[in-house]
Structure 1
């Protein structure tokens, strides 16, 4: 195995997001073989590395974690906007049925440019064309959890289940350090309980997690109540879904019983505030979920319903929406919100043993923010500034597994002009 270059970040303010460590001023981070080897203040004079980043006027945070998205949907950004969710989905499914494997690859690369430039280091993706998305992840250098949304109502549920099983088996055998394969029933209204039970059995056999949509809209609640006399959460508990680690996107409509189920089974609930607002789906009760001990992360959803993959902006919306929904200015504080985008987001995805904090032994997934900006001055409260004032253009470095993907705002692993050229070609063919 090829040894990775060592990396030293010096003269930097560090927000480690660990339980027992405060912010570190004039700090340093030493990275070797993709892992954080040392974190401290006042760098020893003798400390060197193959690559050195001067972090003067920079703030280092754990790399941002996008807990739920659909990366190839960047190709459909702005397409059929301002429709209710179910009508919008029907429109999306028609055009997605025309997408080729190459379309999926280039659209994924477009999304990865956006994520890297805005400080995201990990994302959890649900789409189709997984081999092409995995190829893009491998090239771009990001960390990803990947699954195909199985929709039995499309008429090919069994075929898609077998295909995604093959994908999981393949990538588990490969053992790629940055790609984690999952299984995914799209939602309770597109998969029967029988299909979900099959997926659970396969997830058990393959020892993998499950990513799904749950309790997103009132219409979904009505469909499930009319057909099964249950809520989506209670129905999924009866199918055995929560016997596996679960990443549940949205969770807008939750009863106390639903919340208790999520907490009991330690499911990860991914909050998607901008998409939920744009599609008029509602407001997830995040402040209450946190009080009840539910694991919560933040996601952007796809850029066709957002319309961006900017986790900096998503965190801001996440906090402000909870404040106005609860009529409580203390709801979802800046620190809590940053945790949902980093350490707690990693916990919601079940990857907190490897990423989500800046501490010795963790994978070196780090984002650097340029605080030498008028809108970030004076530095009265750095964490508050990150949530309420920072812009994605303030991100200078994005580092994953010790590899610098964005270096002083320059992409290092992707040819941006080439990707945009391909996207424009695809748009002319697919959407004209």
Structure 2
């Protein structure tokens, strides 16, 4: 029989338009929320109870684009143009990464994410078995894929494709269903057209969604037009990618016509405001995307281009920067920004059972400590969560009904050891 427990005296961000926050109770049975409401539910005699006084419960934050192992390169190359940063700093160091390095960097990132209230993360990288093992051990929910750059000989391309397929097949549904997989050619500018088409075919064969970087910089878009005669959206449409459920990272430089194509094919977008600002890639047309019904979620990108994994910061940036560039203070309201970090995140990575506090949803949720100066006065908890809160306010975290963070401490990971091993891994890269 599954464990049944009740949160009482809680303040819950249900994020409904009419009534975004309620005071009351939430019942969890096994890995699922079975009740949430103002009245105490019936039939809970004997159930364990948890006092939610002084806590604001939110759906777990969902980080829909990143490269967790790149935490090892945090601060190694800053204040640079994307292409220079990649070619001179990132790619030469990443070429030295071993499976052990990827494990060390991923563990560091997962620790940071869990303590900051992220309950689901997407990761596109190499040595993905190590990433999956960290996800499995830590208790986090993960959407994982072997990212593949196709600028290599045909036999190496085939090897990468086969690795991506094997990983996707082996890990789909593992870790009590917490791990799901996708297929991911790195980007149109790093993958020849035929290579992308092979990934599309594999996604059909395995019935999996797809993910890629697209239109992050203006230079990348111009290169696509020069090489293929069309902009990236039309290019990926021509290659059949949008015949699969697809999530695009960045999508900064888009025309009205491109937005219409994405909307027509229900393509979802991971908006990475912090990374795009730091690399001066530009500001995506998020208000226009939302108006056209495109599902827009939030991602941190890798921790070498951000340089943290604080999803509450991304929520705040998403609410702020679109006001600033448009001159419209209603461009992305607080409620919409918070949904981008939770509900829309779940939809964009094709996990319909997460992202909301509601009966029937997976019990992935977090609690912020509101007994602090910046949560007073108790006017609007959605506003406070977006404009006032930070990752340091996350007190407790549950994933799949299990508590992973308690009183700011991660219960599943050895923080001291992880920090030590990550530093050792970085030091090793410098001497290799």
Q: TM-score range by the shorter chain?
A: over 0.9
List per-residue Cα deviations over 1:145-196 (Å, max 9, x = no partner). 1011111114422211111101111123757400011110100001111111
Partner of 1:140 in structure 2?
A: 138
Partner of 1:202 in structure 2?
A: 202
Q: Determine which of 19, 28, 33 is the counterpart of 1:31.
A: 28
* Structure 2 counterparts to residues 167-186 of structure 1, below 5 A: 167-172=167-172, 174=174, 176-186=176-186
List per-residue Cα deviations over 1:262-318 (Å, max 9, x = no partner). 101111111000100100100000011111111110100010000000001111111
C-alpha separation in 2, matches of 1:31 and 1:172: 25
Question: What SS class does the counterpart of residue 149 from structure 1 fall into?
Answer: strand
* Structure 2 counterparts to residues 233-272 of structure 1, below 5 A: 233-272=233-272
- TM-score of the pair, normalised by structure 1: 0.96
Partner of 2:370 in structure 1?
A: 371
Partner of 1:159 in structure 2?
A: 159
Structure-2 change in CA distance of 1:226 and 1:45 (3 Å): closer
Gaps of 5+ in 1: none
Question: What SS class does the counterpart of residue 152 from structure 1 fall into?
Answer: coil
Question: What SS class does the counterpart of residue 266 from structure 2 fall into?
Answer: coil
Q: Is the 8 A contact 1:8 1:49 kept in 2?
A: no
Partner of 1:279 in structure 2?
A: 279
Q: CA deviation at 1:30?
A: 1.1
C-alpha separation in 1, matches of 2:180 and 2:173: 11
* Structure 2 counterparts to residues 351-370 of structure 1, below 5 A: 351=351, 353-370=352-369
Partner of 1:54 in structure 2?
A: 51
- TM-score of the pair, normalised by structure 2: 0.96
- Misfit runs of 4+, over 4 Å: 18-22, 48-51, 173-176
Q: Is the 8 A contact 2:21 2:382 kept in 1?
A: no
* Structure 2 counterparts to residues 181-192 of structure 1, below 5 A: 181-192=181-192
Q: Is the 8 A contact 1:252 1:281 kept in 2?
A: yes
Q: Does 1:295 align with 2:295?
A: yes
C-alpha separation in 2, matches of 1:134 and 1:363: 20
Question: What SS class does the counterpart of residue 369 from structure 1 fall into?
Answer: strand
C-alpha separation in 2, matches of 1:370 and 1:349: 28
Q: CA deviation at 1:8?
A: 2.3
List per-residue Cα deviations over 1:46-73 (Å, max 9, x = no partner). 7356653211011111111111111101
Partner of 1:421 in structure 2?
A: 420
Question: What SS class does the counterpart of residue 86 from structure 2 fall into?
Answer: helix
Question: What SS class does the counterpart of residue 331 from structure 2 fall into?
Answer: coil
Q: Is the 8 A contact 2:56 2:367 kept in 1?
A: yes
* Structure 2 counterparts to residues 369-408 of structure 1, below 5 A: 369-408=368-407
Gaps of 5+ in 2: none
C-alpha separation in 1, matches of 2:19 and 2:3: 27
Structure-2 change in CA distance of 1:307 and 1:174 (3 Å): closer
Per mean C-alpha deviation after superposition, the further-off stretch among 415-424 and 9-18 is 9-18
List per-residue Cα deviations over 1:87-115 (Å, max 9, x = no partner). 11112111111111111111111101111
Q: Is the 8 A contact 2:272 2:299 kept in 1?
A: yes
C-alpha separation in 1, matches of 2:366 and 2:273: 22
CA RMSD of aligned residues (A): 1.6
Q: Is the 8 A contact 1:17 1:62 kept in 2?
A: no
List per-residue Cα deviations over 1:311-357 (Å, max 9, x = no partner). 01111111111111111111100000001011111111111x21011
